[in-house]
Amino acid sequence: MASSPFRSFLPAERQEAAEALIRLREKELKVLERRWRQERKITRQRLLLTRIQATRNNIVSWQDYISEGCPRVPNATTRV
C-alpha cells in the first residue's frame, strides 16, 4: 500500500498533492453549484448550499496549507 504524499519529507510532493486536491474540490464545487441552481425543492437547496460552503472551506484550508509552506504535520483547523 502506498503511503500518503503528505507524509513525504519533500515539500514539493506535499504541495503537488495539495494542489491536486484543490483541483478535485473545485470540480466538485462546480457540480454542486450547478445542481443547486437546478434544484427546485428548498430543503435540497439548503442541503446543497451547506455542501457548497463546506467544499469552499476545504479549498481555502488547502490553500492555507500551501501558503504555510506545506508543513509535514498540518495543523487541524476548522473554519466557521
- Which pLDDT value is given to residue 3? 78
pLDDT tens per residue across all 80 residues of the chain = 457 888 888 999 999 999 999 999 999 999 999 999 999 999 999 999 999 999 999 999 999 999 999 988 755 554 44
Instruction: Please choose, from the candidates 75, 79, 77, the residue with its C-alpha nearest in 3D space to the C-alpha of residue 6.
Output: 75
Please compute, for residue 4, the number of CA atoms within 13 A of its CA located in the half-sphere on the CB side. 8
User: pTM of this prediction?
Assistant: 0.84
Are 18 and 62 a contacting pair, CB within 8 Å? yes
Query: Alpha helix locations (H) across the chain?
Result: 11-38, 42-67
